């Protein structure tokens, strides 16, 4: 069988945008999606707040997904839903993908280039080591969201939420509206990770208390969850004695972080960033394995779907260019490294032989600031500084660098200076 030019793994916001970006009449393209329908995580995010950047209007998750799906439906490409990619290897310069579905069972396809857009998964209780008993009734907030919004059942009636990220806040409101009692949200950090709008409209609107600098100190329940206890923590995140509060609940939702879902690609052995949990890529979104690209939440966790679409469209275009121009990877690599107060920068490398005028770097800080400055260096040379306002770790920042600036020696590094907090 003739190999596909490009195979895209995952049909969420990222895969759909990558498909649109990669499309060319002369190319043979295939998209594979595990679910019965396209759209990914957006289908369960029934709330508003998507698309303000990309479509200039406020959409719900399913509406955003449907637009993306409509944009690719007429294209002459193969889309296989209800099909899972179980393994990918690269042999003699060609990718071989092992697929699984109920109709054909296990089967294989080949590809010259592959795009990973398989999204992310939620951290579970094992990943954060909760104390106490291990009864049923503890689950990631996104799973509860799927059960409620798609499968149509409530996971519990008396709920507590650990973690103040947006998914947890959105679920606090959603479950309250559906008749559950949400007794509170606990956040380990002294500040919330969620948008202020969500704090106000998901918690304050329903008088749900937010316990900052608090975490779970005990869990009780033999087979099913009976109660949880929270305690205040000090600067070292140690429990402060005497601050315990106990809540009788049947459900504990965890909103404690997302991780790129790329375990099934282990055989490919591409370099992975410890910070993002996703692949290390250059500005063309190419990984350390030639012809393998990554985008969306499978590359790094995004807070805004609009940025997923923007990034993945570019990844698709780059995969197309890779095939059409028969591009080979150069050895002229420049590293991009985070310095003080920066947790990560993406892309982590720049291919300096690539034909580009400027590159947009996505980055997250480790600290909040009302006002601050980003300082961009190459080696010891300060290239430029840029002011920033209302910087929070939960929101991604973007910085543009022109290729013409990069004529010094040494890696690029960026540091963030807090001016006021």
Partner 1 sequence: MKKEMICIVCPVGCHVSIDTKTHEVQNNKCKRGERYAKKELLNPTRMLTTTVNIDSIHQRRLPVKTTDAIPKEKLFDLMDLLESVEIKIPVNLGDVILSNVFDTGVDVVATMSLKD
Ligand X SMILES: Cc1cc2nc3c(=O)[nH]c(=O)nc-3n(C[C@H](O)[C@H](O)[C@H](O)COP(=O)(O)OP(=O)(O)OC[C@H]3O[C@@H](n4cnc5c(N)ncnc54)[C@H](O)[C@@H]3O)c2cc1C
Interface positions with ligand X (CB under 6 A): 9-15, 32-35, 40-42, 45, 47, 49-50, 84-85, 117-119, 142, 145, 166-167, 258, 261, 264, 296-298, 302, 304-305, 308
Cβ at position 347, least distance to ligand X in Å: 17
Q: Which is closer to partner 1, CB of 55 or CB of 356?
A: 55
Cβ at position 248, least distance to partner 1 in Å: 23
CA distance 102 to 109: 16
Location of structure tokens 């290239």: 383
* Strands 251-254 and 158-162, sheet pairing: parallel
Cβ at position 371, least distance to partner 1 in Å: 11
Give me the residues paired with residue 251 across strands: 159
- Alpha-carbon torsion (143, 145, 150, 151), positive or negative: positive
Contact partners, residue 14, CB within 8 Å, separation at least 6: 40, 117, 119, 295, 296, 297, 298, 308, 309, 311, 312, 315
Residue 34 partner contact from partner 1, ligand X, none using kind-dependent CB cut-offs of 5 to 8 Å: ligand X
Q: Which two tokens stand for residue 68?
A: 């993306």
Q: Which is closer to partner 1, CB of 37 or CB of 332?
A: 37
Residue 228 partner contact from ligand X, partner 1, none using kind-dependent CB cut-offs of 5 to 8 Å: none
Cβ at position 197, least distance to partner 1 in Å: 5
CA distance 350 to 412: 9
Cβ at position 411, least distance to ligand X in Å: 28
Residue 372 partner contact from partner 1, ligand X, none using kind-dependent CB cut-offs of 5 to 8 Å: none
Q: Which is closer to partner 1, CB of 203 or CB of 252?
A: 203
Q: Which two tokens stand for residue 58?
A: 């406020």
Residue 178 partner contact from partner 1, ligand X, none using kind-dependent CB cut-offs of 5 to 8 Å: partner 1
Cβ at position 92, least distance to ligand X in Å: 23
CA distance 355 to 259: 32
Residue 197 partner contact from ligand X, partner 1, none using kind-dependent CB cut-offs of 5 to 8 Å: partner 1
Q: Which two tokens stand for residue 158?
A: 């008396």
Contact partners, residue 216, CB within 8 Å, separation at least 6: 130, 131, 132, 162, 186, 228, 229, 230, 252
Residue 94 partner contact from partner 1, ligand X, none using kind-dependent CB cut-offs of 5 to 8 Å: none
Nearest CA to 226 out of 247, 254, 253 is that of 247
Q: Which is closer to partner 1, CB of 48 or CB of 94?
A: 48
Answer whether 212's CB lies under 8 Å from 190's CB.
Answer: yes
Kindly list the residues in this chain that would bind partner 1 in the complex (CB under 8 A): 36-37, 43, 46-48, 60-63, 65-66, 148-152, 174, 177-178, 196-197, 199-201, 204-205, 389-390
Q: Which is closer to partner 1, CB of 1 or CB of 177?
A: 177
Q: Which is closer to partner 1, CB of 350 or CB of 363?
A: 363
């Amino acid at each position: 069988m003739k190999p596909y030019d490009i195979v895209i793994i995952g049909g969420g916001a990222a895969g759909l945008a990558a498909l649109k970006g990669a499309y060319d009449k002369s190319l043979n393209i295939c998209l594979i999606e595990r679910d019965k329908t396209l759209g990914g995580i957006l289908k369960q995010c029934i709330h508003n707040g998507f698309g303000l950047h990309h479509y200039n209007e406020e959409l719900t998750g399913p509406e955003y997904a449907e637009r993306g799906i409509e944009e690719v439906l007429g294209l002459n490409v193969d889309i296989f839903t209800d099909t899972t990619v179980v393994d990918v290897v690269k042999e003699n310069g060609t990718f071989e993908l092992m697929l699984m579905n109920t109709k054909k069972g296990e089967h294989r396809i080949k590809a010259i280039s592959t795009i990973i857009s398989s999204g992310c998964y939620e951290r579970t209780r094992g990943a954060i080591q909760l104390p106490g008993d291990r009864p049923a009734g503890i689950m990631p907030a996104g799973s509860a969201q799927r059960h409620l919004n798609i499968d149509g059942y409530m996971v519990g009636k008396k709920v507590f939420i650990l973690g103040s990220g947006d998914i947890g806040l959105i679920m606090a409101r959603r479950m309250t509206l559906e008749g559950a009692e949400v007794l509170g949200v606990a956040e380990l950090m002294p500040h919330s990770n969620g948008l202020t709008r969500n704090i106000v409209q998901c918690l304050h609107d329903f008088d749900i208390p937010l316990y900052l600098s608090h975490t779970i100190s005990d869990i009780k329940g033999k087979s099913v969850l009976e109660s949880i206890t929270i305690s205040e923590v000090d600067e070292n995140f140690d429990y402060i004695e005497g601050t315990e509060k106990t809540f009788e609940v049947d459900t504990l939702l965890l909103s404690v972080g997302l991780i790129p879902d790329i375990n099934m690609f282990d055989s490919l052995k591409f370099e992975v960033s410890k910070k993002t949990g996703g692949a290390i890529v250059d500005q063309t979104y190419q990984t350390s394995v030639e012809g393998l690209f990554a985008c969306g939440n499978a590359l790094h966790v995004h807070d805004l779907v609009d940025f997923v679409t923007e990034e993945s469209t570019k990844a698709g275009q780059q995969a197309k260019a890779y095939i059409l121009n028969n591009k080979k990877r150069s050895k002229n690599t420049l590293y991009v490294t985070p310095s003080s107060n920066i947790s990560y920068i993406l892309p982590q490398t720049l291919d300096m032989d690539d034909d580009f005028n400027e590159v947009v770097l996505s980055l997250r800080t480790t600290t909040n600031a009302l006002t601050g400055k980003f300082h961009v260096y190459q080696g010891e040379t300060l290239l430029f500084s840029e002011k920033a306002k209302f910087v929070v770790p939960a929101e991604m920042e973007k910085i543009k660098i022109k290729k013409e600036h990069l004529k010094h020696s040494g890696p690029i590094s960026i540091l963030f200076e807090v001016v006021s907090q």
